Amino acid sequence: MLSCKQATELISKEADERLPLTDKFSMNMHMMMCNACRNFRSNIHFLRRACRAAATMDASEGTSCADRH
C-alpha cells in the first residue's frame, strides 16, 4: 500500500505523463481508501483545466499574462 506522500507524487506525475499500469493500480487502490488523496487529485485536475482555459483565453485575445502586469 502506498503512503499519501507516494500517492501524491504519482498524482502529480500523472498530470504530466502516462503512468505505468502498476503505478496507476497502486495509486487507485490507495485513493479508494484515502479521501485526502482523492481531494488532492481532484484539485490537480481542476488546476490543470483552469490553466488550459486561461491559456486558451489569452491566445484568443492575443495577450499573455506578462502583458497584464
Cβ atoms of residues 44 and 15 within 8 Å? yes
* Confidence check: pLDDT of 11 > 70: yes
Give backbone dihedrals phi and psi of 37, rounded to 5 degrees, phi first.
-70, -35
Where residue 18 falls (left for φ over 0; alpha for ψ -120 to 50; beta otherwise) is beta
Q: What are the grid coordinates assigned to 9, written together?
A: 507524487
In this prediction, residue 64 has a pLDDT band, given cuts at 50, 70 and 90, of: low
Q: Write out pLDDT tens, residues 14-63.
A: 999 999 999 999 999 999 999 999 999 999 999 999 998 988 887 777 65
Is-above-0.85 flag for pTM?
no
pLDDT of residue 68: 53
Alpha-carbon gap, residue 67 to 65, rounded angstroms: 5
